[in-house]
Structure 1
Amino acid sequence: MRINVHAGHNADGKLACGTIGFIRESTEARRVKDAVVGQLRKLGHTVYDCTVDDAPGERSNLDQIVAKCNAHDVDLDVSIHFNSGARDSVGDGKTTGTETYVYNSSSKARSYAEKVCQSIATLGFRNRGVKYSTGFRVLRTTKSPAMLVECCFVDDKDDVQLYDCQAMAEAIVYGITGQRVVMEAEPDADKELVAPGEETADGDMRQLYRVQVGAYAVKGNADATLAKLKAAGFDAIIVKA
Structure 2
Amino acid sequence: MSPATKRTVVITGGGTGIGAATAELFAEAGHDVTITGRREEVLAAAAKRLGVAHLAFDAADPAAVQAALDQLPTGIDVLVNNAGGNTDRRRPPVAAGDLAGLADGWRANFEANVLTTVLVTEALKPRLADGARIVTVGSVAAKQGSGSYGAAKAALEAWNVETARTLGVRGITANIVAPGVTLDTEFFAGTVSEEWVAGRVATAFNRRAGTPAEIAQAIFFLGRADAGHLTGQVIHVNGGVHTAR
TM-score by length of 1: 0.36
* Structure of higher CA gyration radius: 1
TM-score, normalised relative to structure 2: 0.36
